Amino acid sequence: MSTINFEEIFETKLAKNEMIEPKDWMPDNYRKHLIRQISQHAHSEIVGMLPEGNWITRAPSLRSKIVLLAKVQDEGGHGLYLYTAAESLGISRDEMLDALHTSKAKYSSIFNYPTLTWADVAAIGWLVDGAAIMNQVMLQRTSYGPYSRAMIRICKEESFHQRQGYEAMTRLAFGTPAQKSMAQDALNRFWFPTLMMFGPPDKESPNSDNAVKWRIKRETNDELRQRFVNQTVPQIEYLGLNLPDANIKWNEAKNGYDFSEPNWVEFKNVINGNGPCNKERLNARVNAHKNGEWVRAAAAAYAKKLDDQTLAA
C-alpha cells in the first residue's frame, strides 16, 4: 500500500507556482507564518484608519473630505478581507482581535506617528500607501490562495490612495510658501518611518528566509526598500521639495540611489510599544471594540433568528 506524501504534494505545488488552498495540507510553520503575517496586515489596515480619520472633519474642502472619507473606508474593507483570509487558516476573529488589544500582535509601526497637519495626510497617501503598494503588488502572487485573491482587490484600491496623496501633495508643493513648507515638513517627518515599513535589513530579518522559500514573499525587505527610493526620489524632485536625506545620491554602478538607513533603534522602540502614539492607537481600537459590542450582539441575534426560521420552515 502506498502512503500519500503530503509534504511532497505541497512542495510540488509551490514549485509549479500553484496556489495552496485552505483545505490543502500545509506544514504547521507555513500556517503559523501566514496567520501571523495576514493578521498583522489586517491589524495595520484598521489601525491605519486612525491617523487619517483624525483629519476627516478638518479636510480643507468638500472634495478632499469626500476623497479622504472613501479612502479611510477602503482601509476598513481591507481589514475585513484580510481577517477573513486569516480565518480560513483556522484562527477566529476574536482570537486575532484579542491579540491586537493585548499587544501580543503587532501592526505596522508607521501608524504610531502623529498626523500634525493636513500635509501629513497627503504624505501618508503618497509615501505610506506608495510603500504599501510596493509590498502588496508582490503579494498578489503569494502562494496562499485566499491571501492572494484579497491582495488583488486591495492593490486596485491602494493605487487610488497613492494618487490621492500625491495629488494633495502636489497642491501644497505648488501652493503658497506656507503650504510648500508644510509639505516639506511632512516629507521630512514621514520619510524614514516610511522606509522602516519594509522591515529590518535582510541580514537581521528572521522571517524573510522562510517567507521567500514558501513563496509567501517574493522579494526581500532591502530589495523593496531600494525600489521604493528609486521610484520616489524623482517624485520629490518633480514637486520641487528638498530631499529628506543628505545622503541620497544616484549610484550608476547599482542603477539606483544610495540613501541613509533609517534609525533601527527607533524602529524597535516603536514596534515594542514606545512610539509617539502607540497607547493612543491601541486605546482607540479597544474602545471601538467595546462600543461595537451591541452591534455584534444584534447581528448575531438576527442571524440566529434567520437560522431558526429556516429550520422551522
Q: Which is nearer to Fe ion, 45 or 87 (CB)?
A: 45
Applying CB under 5 A, what is the total number of residues that bind Fe ion?
Answer: 6
Closest distance between Fe ion and the C-beta of residue 138, in Å?
15
- φ, ψ at 291 (rounded to 5°): -65, -20
Residue 59 backbone class (left: φ over 0; alpha: ψ -120 to 50; beta: rest):
beta
DSSP string, 20-79: B-TTS---HHHHHHHHHHHHHHHHHHHHTHHHHHTTGGG-SSHHHHHHHHHHHHHHHHHH
Q: Which is nearer to Fe ion, 49 or 277 (CB)?
A: 49
Closest distance between Fe ion and the C-beta of residue 68, in Å?
11
Q: Which is nearer to Fe ion, 43 or 78 (CB)?
A: 78
Q: Which residue in 87, 120, 129, 245 binds Fe ion (CB under 5 A)? A: 129
Closest distance between Fe ion and the C-beta of residue 157, in Å?
7
Q: Which is nearer to Fe ion, 20 or 130 (CB)?
A: 130
User: If binding is defined by CB under 5 A, does position 75 make contact with Fe ion?
Assistant: yes
Q: State the Cα–Cα distance between residues 241 and 177, nearest whole angstrom.
A: 12
User: How many CA atoms are closer than 13 Å to the CA of 144, on its beta-carbon side?
Assistant: 28
Mask for 147-166, x = binds Fe ion (CB under 5 A)? -----------x--x-----
C-alpha to C-alpha distances, 93 to 42, 128, 284, nearest whole angstrom: 11, 26, 18
- φ, ψ at 272 (rounded to 5°): -85, 15
Q: Which residue in 13, 78, 225, 281 binds Fe ion (CB under 5 A)? A: 78
Q: State the Cα–Cα distance between residues 61 and 58, nearest whole angstrom.
A: 9
Q: Which is nearer to Fe ion, 152 or 243 (CB)?
A: 152
Residue 232 neighbours by CB distance under 10 Å: 23
User: If binding is defined by CB under 5 A, does position 87 make contact with Fe ion?
Assistant: no
Q: Which is nearer to Fe ion, 45 or 245 (CB)?
A: 45
Closest distance between Fe ion and the C-beta of residue 101, in Å?
20
Closest distance between Fe ion and the C-beta of residue 284, in Å?
17
Task: Give residues with Cβ within 8 angstroms of 285, minimum separation 6.
Answer: 46, 47, 50, 100, 101
Closest distance between Fe ion and the C-beta of residue 78, in Å?
4
Q: State the Cα–Cα distance between residues 14 and 233, nearest whole angstrom.
A: 36
DSSP 144: B
Q: Which is nearer to Fe ion, 120 or 129 (CB)?
A: 129
Q: Which of residues 243-262 bind Fe ion (CB under 5 A)?
A: none
User: If binding is defined by CB under 5 A, does position 41 make contact with Fe ion?
Assistant: no
Q: Which stretch binds Fe ion (CB under 5 A): 33-41, 123-131, 199-207, 302-310?
A: 123-131
Catalog residues that contact Fe ion under the rule CB under 5 A.
45, 75, 78, 129, 158, 161
